[in-house]
Amino acid sequence: MAKALRVLPLILALLLTLGGCAGAPRRDSEEEALLLGFAQLGSESAWRLGNTRSVQEAAQRAGIQLMYENAEQKQEKQIKAIRSFIAYQVDVIAFAPIVEDGWDTVLMEAREAGIPVLTTDRMIHTEDESLYAGFVGSDFQAEGEKAGQFLLRKAQEMGAEHLNIVEISGTIDSTPMKQRGQGFRNAIQDDSRFTIVASLSGDFLRSKGKECMEQLLAAHSDIDVLYSHNDAMTLGAIEAIEEKGLEPGQDIVIITVDGEQAAVDLLKEGKVNCVVECTPLIGDTIMELARKLAAGESIERATYSEERVFTEFDEDLDSLPERGY
């Protein structure tokens, strides 16, 4: 079809506006800048807001037109956004999938339209790997392993004989939820000092993190460690811990993932013991990969961010630059 729909930009822009697609740009000629459709999964945390800002600012720097849609934590809205991108015949589609399953049909539609797809931040599960070109984001299993490795060192420093662990996981069936949990277990599974006594899903939300921690504290009087899959849930959990009259970071060892400014500040205060970085600042990489895909080039199946771990054992915490999210 050679992107024949572009000859009707005004009509299509009107249709997209009626369909609710935010910020649809006009296409006035075949020589305009690359057009990227980006379907974000939501705005549930400072991390997600930082991720969105990174993509938007990177697109502006790169001279790439961006069609942006916020799915507000709903897969059906994200699928609708992707279909609007297909209708507009964007050059490349990128999206952060809410869950791993349920994407095959819409991605087949993208392939039939000749539009390459890039998954960001989270991965998908499909029997047909050719439905998407690649993934850009974090190695979630490695993040979980780093969390477990910190706990091994912390237990040694404490001289602990046994530690009871509670876990607040992310959205059920999402890639980070699965892989952060598995990586953590891989790191500690051969050490008999550790028992995971309970695991609840907080859906990566601060409010649910607090609710989960309240339930865990009511059900268990002997919690030694909290492993939380993201900082938003950790902030909520700390509220519940303090309301119970306990000292976070002291009475309960706290390990969290993301690296938001708020979590690093709490690490400096001693209320968090370990922060595993998961950077949302991947906008420039997304733009670089989108250009390659639009030019018909192949990309790596997975492009991972370089990330570090911040712990109570670090001596340079006060010199850390602002996180930016």
Q: Which of 27-36, 72-81, 165-174, 276-285 has the lowest mean pLDDT?
A: 27-36
Residue 111 predicted with pLDDT over 50: yes
Strand order in the sheet with 117-120: 65-70, 35-40, 92-95, 117-120, 134-137, 302-304
Alpha carbon distance 208, 200 (integer Å): 10
More confident residue, 145 or 316: 145
265 CB-near residues (< 8 Å, 6+ apart)? none
Q: In the prediction, which pLDDT does 8 show?
A: 43
Q: In the prediction, which pLDDT does 277 show?
A: 98
Q: Which amino acid is at 139?
A: D
Quote the percentage of the chain above a pLDDT of 70: 90
Q: In the prediction, which pLDDT does 123 show?
A: 94
Q: How confident is the model at residue 29 (pLDDT cuts 50, 70, 90)?
A: very low
